[in-house]
C-alpha cells in the first residue's frame, strides 16, 4: 500500500475511533466516518471490505495497542514502585477523559458493552485488547504470587473508575480507585 493509501486508511481509523468513543458503535454510521475522515466511499470498502465491523474491530485494536504501548513503556520502568505506576496510569487516563470533555474514557469499553454479547468479531477484538493490557499489568506484577488475579483486578478497577468518572463528569472515582489500589498494592 502506498503512502496515500496508508494515510487514507489511518484517517478512516482515526475518525472511527473518535466517533465510536463519543457516540458508541450503534451511534456511529459509515457516512459520519466518511465525513469526519474526508475519505471517499470507495476507499472505505477498499481498505475495509468487511464494512463497519472490520473498521471498528481494527480501530479498537489500534487504540488498544496505543494504550498497551503506554502501559508497556511505564511497565519497563521497573524502578518506579507499582503504586506509582498505577497512579500514573490513572492520572494519564483521567487527564485524557477530562481534556475530552468527559467523552473519551476507555477506547474499548463502549464497543465491548454494546456488541460483545452479539457480535463475535468485535467481541474477539475487545477481548484481545483486554488480554494484552492484562499481560502488561501481569508483567509489572510478576514478583507477586497473585499476579494473574491482581492484573485482572487492577484493570477492572481502572475500567470501572473510568466509567464512573465519565458518568459523573468528575475525577473523584479515579482518585478513590487510585487510593484503594495504592493500599491493595502497597
pTM for the model stands at 0.90
List the domain boundaries for the chain: 3-185
Please identify, in words, the CATH class of the domain defined by 3-185. Answer: mainly alpha
Q: What is residue 104's predicted lDDT score, i.e. its pLDDT?
A: 87
CA distance 156 to 1: 38
pLDDT of residue 76 exceeding 90, the answer is: no
pLDDT tens string 116-154: 999 999 999 999 999 999 998 998 898 999 999 999 999
pLDDT of residue 60 exceeding 80, the answer is: yes
Q: Are the CB atoms for 162 and 174 separated by under 8 Å? A: yes
Going by pLDDT thresholds of 50, 70 and 90, the confidence category of residue 98 is: very high
pLDDT of residue 75 exceeding 60, the answer is: no
**133 class by beta-carbon count within 10 Å (0-12 exposed, 13-18 middle, 19+ buried):** buried
Q: What is residue 88's predicted lDDT score, i.e. its pLDDT?
A: 87
CA distance 129 to 61: 6
Q: What is residue 74's predicted lDDT score, i.e. its pLDDT?
A: 59
pLDDT tens string 5-56: 789 999 999 999 999 998 999 999 999 999 999 999 999 999 999 999 999 9
Give the mean pLDDT of 113-118.
94
CA distance 87 to 37: 34
Amino acid at each position: 500500500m502506498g503512502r496515500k493509501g496508508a494515510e487514507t486508511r489511518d484517517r478512516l481509523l482515526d475518525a472511527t475511533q473518535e466517533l465510536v468513543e463519543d457516540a458508541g458503535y450503534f451511534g456511529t454510521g459509515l457516512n459520519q466516518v466518511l465525513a469526519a475522515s474526508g475519505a471517499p466511499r470507495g476507499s472505505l470498502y477498499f481498505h475495509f471490505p468487511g464494512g463497519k465491523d472490520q473498521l471498528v474491530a481494527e480501530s479498537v485494536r489500534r487504540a488498544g495497542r496505543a494504550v498497551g504501548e503506554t502501559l508497556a513503556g511505564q511497565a519497563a520502568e521497573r524502578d518506579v514502585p507499582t503504586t506509582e505506576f498505577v497512579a500514573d496510569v490513572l492520572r494519564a487516563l483521567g487527564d485524557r477523559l477530562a481534556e475530552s470533555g468527559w467523552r473519551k474514557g476507555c477506547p474499548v469499553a463502549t464497543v465491548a458493552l454494546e456488541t460483545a454479547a452479539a457480535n463475535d468479531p468485535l467481541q474477539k477484538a475487545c477481548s484481545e485488547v483486554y488480554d494484552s493490557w492484562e499481560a502488561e499489568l501481569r508483567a509489572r506484577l510478576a514478583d507477586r504470587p497473585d499476579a494473574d488475579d491482581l492484573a485482572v483486578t487492577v484493570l477492572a478497577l481502572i475500567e470501572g473508575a473510568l466509567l464512573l468518572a465519565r458518568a459523573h463528569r468528575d475525577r473523584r472515582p479515579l482518585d478513590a480507585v487510585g487510593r484503594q489500589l495504592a493500599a491493595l498494592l502497597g
